[in-house]
Amino acid sequence: MIKGPLLGELEQAVLNYLWDNGECDAKSIHATLGKKRGISLNTIQSTLERLFNKKLLERTKVSYAYIYRTAIERGELINIWLNNMIRALKTSKNEVMLSAFVDLTSDIDIEHLQELEELIKEKRKQLDD
């Protein structure tokens, strides 16, 4: 079970790359991310190894290289992070959590805000039943 590991900026970039592009090897990731950032293939390989150890990636050995793929969907990991954050904030005053949530929603467009309102309506209905 993934408890929502903390990720560095490069780890996040590698995960995003794999979510967007599907499975690939370290050299492919390095060609896109590593060269742009001026980092070595070894750094990309170390990052992939860390993500694998955190159970966020799966891998298959093909010849002398590993092919990596995500072990979790982007939305699932975000849900884990948000649930952990909400649980942590619940120990303090609820106003703090609600205020932070409202601040986060201030940057979304009207369409997403309407989706959020619908989700709140559904949750209220579930609670009333």
Q: Is residue 3 part of a domain?
A: no
pLDDT value of position 112: 78
Any residues with CB less than 8 A from the CB of 56 and at least 6 apart, and which? 2, 5, 15, 70, 71, 72, 77
Spatial contact of 31 and 17, defined as CB atoms under 8 Å apart: no
Indicate yes or no: pTM above 0.85. no
Of the candidates 54, 32, 61, the residue with the CA atom closest to the CA atom of residue 44: 32
Spatial contact of 30 and 50, defined as CB atoms under 8 Å apart: no
**Domain limits for position 54:** 9-70
Total domains, the chain: 2
Mean pLDDT per segment of 10 residues, for the chain of length 129 residues? 70 94 95 91 95 94 94 89 74 69 75 83 86
Q: Is residue 4 part of a domain?
A: no
Residues 31 and 66 in one domain: yes
**What's the CATH code of the domain at 56?**
1.10.10.10
Residues 83 and 123 in one domain: yes
